[in-house]
Amino acid sequence: MNGAYRAMTARLEARNNPSLLVMAYDRGRTRVTDLIVVPRHFFTNAIIEPRKPLGPNARRAGWQGCNILIGQVPAAGRIPLIRNGLHVPKAAVLDQWRSTLFLRDAGLNARGWLLEVMRCVEAIGRAEFTLADVYVFEPRLSALYPGNSHVRPKIRQQLQVLRDQGWLAFSGRGTCRRM
């Protein structure tokens, strides 16, 4: 759960939009079991879900909150600081953070496409995959972006951007590998 929906969506493109820390803890042992950070450049409209406005009898009638859908963030954007009660080495955290810094320079719309293609690649579940594997997600991407009638070329374009940024590598003949 988060604060006001309009305020949250208005901040998405702001340079001072904060990153998000999410913690899980063991109350009985009074210790943190998991802590992740979601860098601000992973925030798009797709992960902000509006809640139902407060009813007319509420003290703040009409106010509308929102939920942050952490599950919609690609795994690359959920950077563990503590995993299963153990600190993740600083070098690993920084490597994962740096590998996606290119997203902060992309506009909100461009970032949305990049993140969706990243989610598709991660959903394939293999380090090495083909272009045909990513094309399986064409219907989902078409539904997310109904104004785009050239989804396959857009997928290829986004894969090229991810390659150019070092997030994945082309192995040749339609084969790619996640870095």
Which CATH number fits the domain that encloses residue 175? Answer: 1.10.10.10
> Are 1 and 55 in the same domain?
yes
Which CATH number fits the domain that encloses residue 26? Answer: 3.40.210.30
Q: 101, 119, 141: which is the final residue of a domain?
A: 101
> Are 121 and 80 in the same domain?
no
- Convert the pLDDT of each residue in 129-169 to its tens digit: 999 999 999 999 999 999 999 999 999 999 999 999 999 99
Q: 77, 101, 125: which is the final residue of a domain?
A: 101
Instruction: Note down the domain range covering 114.
Output: 106-179
Name the token pair of 135. 């094309």
User: Among 7-16, 51-60, 75-84, 91-100, which is the least confidently predicted range?
Assistant: 7-16
Asked whether the beta carbons of 44 and 113 are under 8 A apart, the reply is no
DSSP 85-123: TEEPPHHHHHHHHHTTGGGGGS-HHHHHHHHHHHHHHHH
> Are 92 and 149 in the same domain?
no
pLDDT at residue number 154: 97
> Are 1 and 88 in the same domain?
yes
> What percent of the chain shows pLDDT beyond 70?
99
> Are 77 and 127 in the same domain?
no
| Residue that the structure tokens 């803890």 belong to | 25
pLDDT at residue number 179: 86
In the chain, the number of structural domains is 2
Q: For the chain, how many helices (H) and strands (E)?
A: 6, 10
Q: 79, 101, 123: which is the final residue of a domain?
A: 101
Residue type, 123: A
